[in-house]
Amino acid sequence: MKNNNPALPELRLLASTNWKDYELLDTGDGEALERVGPYKLIRSEPQAIWPRTLAENIWNSADAVMVPTQSEYGGYWEYKNPIKEPWIIDYNGLKCEIRLSKSRHIGVFPEQASHWDWIESQIKGAKKTLRVLNLFGYTGMATAAAARAGAEVTHVDASKHAVAWASRNMDLSGLSKAPIRWLVEDARKYLRREIKRKSFYDGIILDPPKFGRGPSGKVWSYFEDISDLLDQCRRVLSSKPKFICLTSYAIQASALVPHQAVQEIVKSYGGSVTSGELVTVDSSGGHILSHSLYTRWSSV
């Protein structure tokens, strides 16, 4: 529907179409069937309330199935066929090591590939070296995209394991000599130090969890903490910043919530803010899964 009111933002769905090593094969009956490199995996997907499209024998050919437990994030993998772990997948030259963990995560969020493309375009379009801060950097695919585009990147994550994983991904992607600082740190604690040091960044990437704990056990809760986090980010923006890329997993919220929050911190810089949902589309029935909300700000 056409938006005739310029005061109302148009929310958009973003799906990456450039994957070769990943494919959402089918969804339905509360599960998703995915091809991740040479292996087929089944993970729980509560949004998939429709029936499956592909035949049962195709679903039964999966190499591993994530069996959820009562914990929202926990579970275990049931192997149907031998899998050699870890294995490597490639996205346009950016490589990521894949492992089946005790959570449903595997080391990459494929729906974020459109972010990686956008981040690279923002940095290349700047025509100068940008200082980029990646908070909650996880296994570093956004860091890899930024570094490959020519940015100096500071990668911050509270998990020592995730930072080590991200560093391996840089090696795999041929970026071992890229100017990347690795920090195992609570994001807000790090930002407070940067504010005191008057250290500024031209681009900020934020991928905070819905819920989590920092290295010292400090609890992160999206709705309670995102406002303060964004205010701290505002205070470390350079005088002529280039971009902000925020992903939010609080799906029960509207994309309008982070949209308006980011608008507030960049209103003195001009530019444009776009928001919506990161999605994947299954290749069998065309069903769309929404994974997260996103908000992007660009100075141009």
Closest by Cα among 130, 150, 117, 152 to 240: 130
- Terminal alpha carbon distance of the chain: 26
CATH number at residue 81: 2.60.40.1180
Strand, helix or coil for residue 138: coil
Give 232's pLDDT tier (boundaries 50, 70, 90).
Answer: very high
Pair 116, 94 in one domain: no
Which residues have CB under 8 Å from 232's CB, separation 6+?
A: 188, 191, 192, 195
Pair 93, 115 in one domain: no
CATH number at residue 224: 3.40.50.150
Q: Report how far residue 277's alpha carbon sits from residue 292's, in angstroms, rounded to the nearest whole number.
A: 6
Residue 254 lies in a domain: yes
Residue 167 lies in a domain: yes
Q: Report how far residue 297's alpha carbon sits from residue 260's, in angstroms, rounded to the nearest whole number.
A: 11
Q: What does the pLDDT read at residue 111?
A: 97
Give 127's pLDDT tier (boundaries 50, 70, 90).
Answer: confident
| pLDDT per residue as tens digits for the range 248-264 | 986 666 888 899 999 99
pLDDT above 60 (res 6): no
CA distances from 222 to 137, 208, 228, 231, 293 (A): 16, 7, 10, 14, 13
Q: What does the pLDDT read at residue 235?
A: 98
Percent of residues, the chain, with pLDDT higher than 70: 91
Q: What does the pLDDT read at residue 75?
A: 83
Full-model pTM: 0.93
Q: What does the pLDDT read at residue 215?
A: 59
Pair 128, 82 in one domain: no
Classify strands 94-98 and 87-91 as parallel, antiparallel or unpaired: antiparallel
The domain in which residue 178 lies consists of 110-298
CA distances from 53 to 37, 57, 59, 290 (A): 22, 12, 10, 18
DSSP 182-219: EEES-HHHHHHHHHHHT--BSEEEE---SEEE-TT--E
Domain boundary among the residues 66, 98, 130 is at 98
CA distances from 75 to 67, 68, 78, 82, 115 (A): 5, 4, 10, 19, 28
Closest by Cα among 94, 91, 98, 121 to 19: 91
Strands of the 31-36 sheet, one edge to the other:
22-28, 31-36, 39-44, 64-68, 75-79
- Is the bond preceding residue 86 a cis peptide, omega within 30 degrees? yes
Q: What does the pLDDT read at residue 8?
A: 74
Average pLDDT, the chain: 92
Classify strands 243-248 and 288-298 as parallel, antiparallel or unpaired: antiparallel
Pair 67, 129 in one domain: no
